[in-house]
Amino acid sequence: MTTPVLWHFPISHYNEKARWALDWKRIPHVRKVLGPDYLPRAWWATGRGTLPILWLDGQAIGDSTRIIEALERRSPVPPLYPRDEAARRRALALEDFFDEELGHALRAAIVGPALADDPDGAIAVLTLGMPPRAGRMMRAIFPAFRAFYRYRHHITPETVAAGRGKMRAALDRIEAERQPSGYLVGDAFSVADLTAAALFAPLVVPPELQYRLPDPLPSVLVEHQRALADHPAYRWVADMYRRHRGVSAEVSP
């Protein structure tokens, strides 16, 4: 078996899902940060323009959910899918809920205002882990880049305005789903907990994140943190990171 290779953006929460799954299963893997030229490369590899992409046994897998599914098949232990059929269905439904109802909304709520009010801060965050020329390039073409980003990620005044409410609704959902064990499904950490926590990472910024956000944080992010930090599920995200994020299984190429 060849070493899996993850094409990723360090800042991205969907990419964090894939990194966490690889680390959780202690699968040695190579990580490659793609830069502003990611789009043709991603299209060529998977026929879609998004990261993460995992190269696994000669195949390129796009989409974090499909990556976790493939990893679960290839390395079932330690598991991310509950063994019980009904519990597995619930965990996958929660994964889908956070992917669709939280991930995009959180991006709109944080990146949308940053692109409008703090171009340098937005570029610093979005180019995290990329060579300095990526930031220079984005600054040079900023109006075009901003229009492209808004288009690609459906960032409109409406999606920005709805963002905080959707983040709060997702925190409420975590509280509602939490079992006596503290996990979202059954008695153990699963794909549901991983997804909820990873997708909230750009808001909560837990210390276990493997890529440090630029300092100071964009002011819109600090405002959202102030507004939501008292929610019990906000602390739950930090707790999942503290207890389960573990160490990186990245290896050198």
Q: Does 136 bind ligand GSH (CB under 6 A)?
A: no
Query: Which of 4, 12, 137, 155: binder of ligand GSH (CB under 6 A)?
Result: 12
The residue written with tokens 């100071």 in the block is 216
CA angle (101 as vertex; 98, 104 as ends), nearest 5: 100
Q: Does 194 bind ligand GSH (CB under 6 A)?
A: no
Query: Which of 7, 9, 234, 236: binder of ligand GSH (CB under 6 A)?
Result: 9
Number of residues forming the site for ligand GSH (CB under 6 A): 13
Nearer to ligand GSH, 8 or 186 (CB): 8
Q: Does 152 bind ligand GSH (CB under 6 A)?
A: yes
The terminus-to-terminus CA distance of the chain in angstroms comes to: 15
Q: Does 99 bind ligand GSH (CB under 6 A)?
A: yes
Nearer to ligand GSH, 39 or 116 (CB): 39
Nearer to ligand GSH, 9 or 183 (CB): 9
Residues 26-65 that bind ligand GSH (CB under 6 A): 39, 49-52, 63-65
User: Which residue, among 185, 153, 117, 219, has the nearest Cα to 13 in the 3D structure?
Assistant: 153
Residues that bind ligand GSH (CB under 6 A): 9, 12, 14, 39, 49-52, 63-65, 99, 152
